[in-house]
Amino acid sequence: MEKENSMIEEIKLPEISENVDSGVVIEVLVKSGDFVEKEQPIVELETEKATFEVPSPIAGKVTEINVNEDDEVKVGQVILKIDTEAEATQKETETQESRRPADEQKDAANTTPEEPKATKELPPEKQESAARENEQAQAVEPPSQPARKEASASPAVRRLARELGIDISEVAISGAGNKVTQEDVKTYAKGVIAAGENRRAGGVTARALPDFSKWGQIKREKMSVTRKKIADTLSYAWSQIPHVTQYDQADITGLEQFRAEYSKRVEEAGGKLTITSILLKIVAWALKAFPKFNSSVDAEADEIIFKDYCHISVAVDTQRGLLVPVVRDVDKKTILQLSVELSDMSDRTRNNKLAPDEMVGGNFTISNLGGIGGTGFSPIIYWPQVAILGIARACERCRYIKGEPQRRMILPLSLSYDHRIIDGSEGVRFLRFVVEKLEKPFLLAIDE
């Protein structure tokens, strides 16, 4: 926040979370002339980690809005300006706003940047196609700036280029200062793809798509920031990590009795006693018993990074895609505490109320698709983690116990792990450890 004069202050995008330096504006929640209270939401942003509202740090009258919907806003960029001495005129402002004609208010809210003159002079029916052709022509044009031996770029920009398989010295610089930005890297990548060059992007060969409209009607839909991040993360993980998936089954007949016995107590505390909340505790035990699963691979340094803390990511199905909030210090919490925390975190994730820093720092992931269905699946590891546990839907099966057939509830499990540091025998032992704990619920009761 930076003073412009005695009354007007600039409201800038604050630091969001670690490794997140920008967001896309989903909605501007105020308009010029509005009076805002301190901590009142002013814009809604979507980042690669979460969707959240940015509050105003001060109260006053909005004098200027500097962003529009779909704009990418960087940390430190001015969002809007506020007259801090206009508090006394709040009622007068509200009265004047209520007197404005409805059409005028609508026009003001929908103000967009002026189109280029050349496009505006075309007939209306040709403006859209001309703008699209111009955009495509710019995208297809391959980068022409000569390669530099040493490119100036921040660590975040270099990491992005590395993940996309791009030599940063080949990226053209768009602005002043001889410094490569994230936008420069993205523009270069788009140019390479549009030109149909066989470049390696995250380990996957980029190829030009055919014209699908030749065979029938099509519809294009822009990928959201969240969906693009999911695609980038999973593509990178799949190309960089040699996956092995181990399968097993757990007899959870006794565990279901355990859940029935304790579920009411958990509900009274505000949570739900689910298979996932119980597995959080079991996985925390397993990570202590098998420390390689609680590590990350530093390929550049040829080192394994072991972690002494236990933060576990839990995949949550939302309208925006599969998101992975993190439950922290799982090893230090009871199943009751974990059940309450997981219920709250899942609700906030689905309602876009999760803070960006609640989506990072996980050591291991649990993905439970049993509520939807399926008999099993092979989950993709969530880089830079080295393993992920998948849970499918439990079903009744006939099992022979001491020679007698019995109906038992069987839970399918799948464990994907990084074969660079985890051998098959270790993968089997880890998964058997989880199965044995699921099959002995009295151990859970003793732990509680």
Taking only the tens place, the pLDDT of each residue in 90-149 is 544 444 554 455 444 444 445 444 444 444 445 554 455 555 445 444 444 444 444 444
Domain ranges of the chain: 2-109, 150-206, 242-447
pLDDT, mean over the chain: 79
Instruction: Enumerate residues 6+ apart whose C-beta is below 8 A from 253.
Output: 408, 409
CATH class of 2-109: mainly beta
- Token look-up 């026009």 returns 107
**pLDDT tops 50 at residue 396:** yes
Rounded to an integer, what distance in angstroms lies between the CA atom of residue 82 and that of residue 151? 39
What average pLDDT does the segment 235-263 reach?
Answer: 89
Taking only the tens place, the pLDDT of each residue in 21-53 is 788 888 888 888 888 888 888 888 877 666 778
- Token look-up 């960089």 returns 240
Rounded to an integer, what distance in angstroms lies between the CA atom of residue 43 and that of residue 29? 5
What is the token pair recorded at 229?
């991040």
Rounded to an integer, what distance in angstroms lies between the CA atom of residue 157 and that of residue 187? 13
Supply the residues annotated as catalytic.
Answer: 419
What is the structure's pLDDT at 312? 95
What average pLDDT does the segment 221-240 reach?
Answer: 81
Q: Is the pTM of this model over 0.85?
A: no
Rounded to an integer, what distance in angstroms lies between the CA atom of residue 188 and that of residue 174? 11
Q: How far is CA 170 from CA 143, 151, 201, 218, 335, in A?
A: 8, 9, 14, 35, 52
Angle at 166 between CA 160 and CA 171, to 5 degrees: 95
Yes or no: say if 42 and 56 are a contact pair by the CB < 8 Å rule: yes
Fold of 242-447: Chloramphenicol Acetyltransferase (3.30.559)
Q: Which CATH superfamily is domain 150-206 in?
A: E3-binding domain (4.10.320.10)
What average pLDDT does the segment 145-174 reach?
Answer: 70
Q: How far is CA 74 from CA 15, 245, 327, in A?
A: 9, 39, 28
What is the structure's pLDDT at 71? 83
Query: 181 vs 414, which has greater pLDDT?
Result: 414
What is the token pair recorded at 376?
């099993």
Q: How many residues does the chain have?
A: 448
